[in-house]
């Protein structure tokens, strides 16, 4: 009665390529014919040396081998095989049941042994058992490759971290961003990911830990999605791209899974909107709304640290005459040229803004009213000597005020406006200031 197999085992056998190594031609032919009706492919060899060559050429799923053979015996063949391959199942067939001999077979990595004469049922059962473990391993590998393919297909940067902050996984997009071809290459490079991921202030996360794991800022909370920047491997000190971060925590085993979405386009659009919202369209300087925000922040800083703060309000003398004489386009060119030459003569910490019409304000931190008057006088002379396109020479008047502890934005700017008014009343093309604080 033929040996009956469950359909799953039959399908399993039909997918196998088997290498059978046996020096006895009669046994080899019989077993080859028997296996050929049950497995996908049967390859044969009559000694271990030939068997090893066929294995290296074909990489079969399973090896069945005799032990005592000419040229190279089965144990030697298996020993050579295991130097590079520890996973391919090996079943030995032998007429000897010597315990020491069989122990040697187990030591070199034999999965099962079957005594001769071979019982076909026992052989098939043995093949199924070792093949099922192999099939499960291959299924896991296929599943792993499938998951890897899905993760590598994602345009998002995907990262898996251990609780101590060590990187367990990076997908292809993340590796490409860091300039590495594989996770192994990344690990061998010694790169610290905490130095490549930056806060919105462009500070590395490695400098933000405060005793917490370096990746803590990436986890965020329910109210806010973290935004970070990642250095480009080609220009790590210059090129940065913004990403939004979402995270999940796996409880067992504990892992942190993070997905970083490139928001470069969104970030650029936001910055463009901010620029349009807070920048004067004609001159490119801050507009009044932005100026008031910056001025308030500087007033708070001045009060907190006890540092002086001054503001300079100035305008173009007889600007209406420029518009009436040369036209509004020329008037616009004058304002653009004016802000350009003024900006070139300010410190990086100074802020120039259009206050309204032909009036401009400079917020100048860390200088007293006396120093601010000197700055205003310097700018006034530069403007007076400059030859403006079409309009020729123009002059300007300045009003200067220093921040007082009791000031708010309105009182401070009103005092600067009063000083400018006095400069106008006194003949224009001059600098006036409110009395310095006592």
**Shared-domain flag, residues 182 and 119:** no
1 occurs within a structural domain: no
**Shared-domain flag, residues 113 and 21:** yes
> Per residue of the chain (438 residues), what is the pLDDT tens digit?
445 454 477 888 888 999 999 999 999 999 999 999 999 999 999 999 999 999 999 999 999 999 888 999 888 999 999 899 888 899 988 776 656 666 776 777 788 888 888 888 888 888 888 888 777 877 888 888 888 888 889 999 999 999 988 999 999 999 998 889 999 999 999 888 988 888 888 888 888 766 788 888 888 765 677 888 888 766 655 567 889 999 898 888 889 999 999 888 887 888 788 878 889 989 999 999 899 999 999 999 999 999 999 999 999 999 999 999 999 999 999 999 999 999 999 999 999 999 999 999 999 999 999 999 999 999 999 999 999 988 999 999 999 999 999 999 999 999 999 999 999 999 999 999 987 655
Model pLDDT, residue 438:
56
Tokens 């200031």: give the residue: 433
58 occurs within a structural domain: yes
438 occurs within a structural domain: no
**Shared-domain flag, residues 254 and 283:** no
213 occurs within a structural domain: yes
105 occurs within a structural domain: yes
Model pLDDT, residue 295:
94
Q: Is 347 left (phi over 0), alpha (psi -120 to 50) or beta?
A: beta
What is the Cα–Cα distance from 300 to 305, expressed in whole angstroms?
A: 9
CB-CB neighbours of 364 under 10 Å: 25
Domain end, chosen from 268, 300, 328, is at 268
2 occurs within a structural domain: no
**Shared-domain flag, residues 429 and 376:** yes
Model pLDDT, residue 17:
92
CA distances from 66 to 48, 114, 120, 321 (A): 9, 10, 15, 110
Identify the domain containing residue 398 by its residue range: 279-433
**Shared-domain flag, residues 115 and 135:** yes
Instruction: Report the CATH number at residue 178.
Output: 3.30.450.20
**Shared-domain flag, residues 105 and 189:** no
Cα angle value 64/70/71 (rounded, 5°): 100
**Shared-domain flag, residues 116 and 241:** no
216 occurs within a structural domain: yes
Strand-strand pairing, 351-356 and 197-198: unpaired
**Shared-domain flag, residues 189 and 288:** no
**Shared-domain flag, residues 123 and 161:** no
**Shared-domain flag, residues 285 and 414:** yes
Model pLDDT, residue 237:
56
**What is the SS3 string spanning 193-211?**
HHHHEECCCCCEHHHCCCC
**Shared-domain flag, residues 237 and 255:** yes
Are 158 and 258 in contact, with CB atoms under 8 Å apart?
yes
Instruction: Report the CATH number at residue 35.
Output: 3.40.50.2300
**Shared-domain flag, residues 119 and 190:** no
The domain total for the chain is 3
Instruction: Report the CATH number at residue 295.
Output: 3.30.70.270
Q: Residues with Cβ < 8 Å from 146, sequence gap 6 or more?
A: none
CA-nearest of 139, 128, 119 to 5 is 128
Domain end, chosen from 234, 268, 302, is at 268
What is the Cα–Cα distance from 234 to 178, expressed in whole angstroms?
A: 9
273 occurs within a structural domain: no
Domain end, chosen from 86, 113, 147, is at 147
């Amino acid at each position: 009665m033929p040996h009956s197999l469950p359909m799953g085992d039959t399908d399993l056998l039909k997918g196998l390529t088997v290498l059978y190594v046996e020096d006895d031609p009669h046994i080899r032919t019989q077993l080859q014919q028997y296996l050929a009706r049950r497995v996908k492919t049967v390859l044969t060899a009559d000694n271990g040396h030939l068997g090893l060559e066929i294995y290296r050429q074909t990489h079969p799923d399973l090896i069945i081998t005799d032990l005592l053979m000419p040229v190279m015996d089965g144990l030697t063949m298996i020993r050579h095989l295991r130097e590079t391959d520890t996973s391919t199942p090996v079943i030995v067939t032998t007429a000897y049941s010597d315990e020491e001999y069989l122990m040697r077979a187990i030591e070199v990595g034999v999965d099962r042994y079957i005594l001769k004469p071979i019982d076909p049922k026992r052989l098939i059962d043995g093949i199924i058992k070792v093949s099922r473990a192999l099939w499960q391993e291959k299924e896991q590998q296929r599943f792993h490759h499938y998951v890897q393919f899905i993760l590598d297909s994602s345009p998002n940067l995907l990262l898996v971290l251990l609780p101590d902050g060590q990187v367990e996984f990076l997908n292809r997009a993340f590796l490409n961003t860091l300039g590495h071809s594989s996770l192994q290459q990344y690990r061998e490079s010694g790169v610290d990911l905490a130095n490549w991921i930056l806060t919105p202030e462009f500070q590395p996360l490695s400098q933000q830990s405060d005793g917490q794991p370096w990746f803590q800022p990436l986890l965020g909370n329910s109210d806010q999605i973290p935004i970070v920047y990642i250095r480009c491997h080609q220009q790590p000190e210059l090129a940065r791209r913004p990403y939004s971060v979402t995270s999940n925590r796996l409880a067992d085993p504990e892992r942190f899974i993070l997905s970083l979405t490139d928001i470069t386009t969104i970030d650029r659009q936001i910055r463009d909107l901010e620029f349009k919202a807070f920048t004067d369209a004609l001159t490119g300087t801050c507009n009044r709304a932005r100026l008031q925000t910056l001025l308030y922040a500087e007033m708070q800083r001045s009060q907190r640290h006890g540092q002086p703060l001054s503001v300079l309000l100035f305008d173009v003398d007889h600007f209406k005459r420029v518009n009436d004489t040369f036209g509004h386009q020329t008037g616009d060119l004058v304002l653009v040229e004016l802000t350009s030459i003024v900006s070139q003569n300010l410190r990086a910490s100074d802020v120039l803004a259009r206050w309204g019409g032909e009036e401009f304000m400079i917020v100048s931190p860390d200088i007293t009213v006396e120093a601010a008057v000197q700055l205003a006088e310097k700018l006034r002379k530069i403007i007076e000597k400059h030859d403006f396109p079409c309009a020729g020479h123009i002059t300007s008047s300045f009003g200067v005020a220093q921040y007082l502890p009791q000031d708010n934005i309105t009182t401070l700017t009103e005092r600067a406006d009063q000083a400018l008014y006095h400069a106008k009343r006194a003949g224009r093309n001059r600098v006036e200031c409110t009395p310095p604080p006592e």
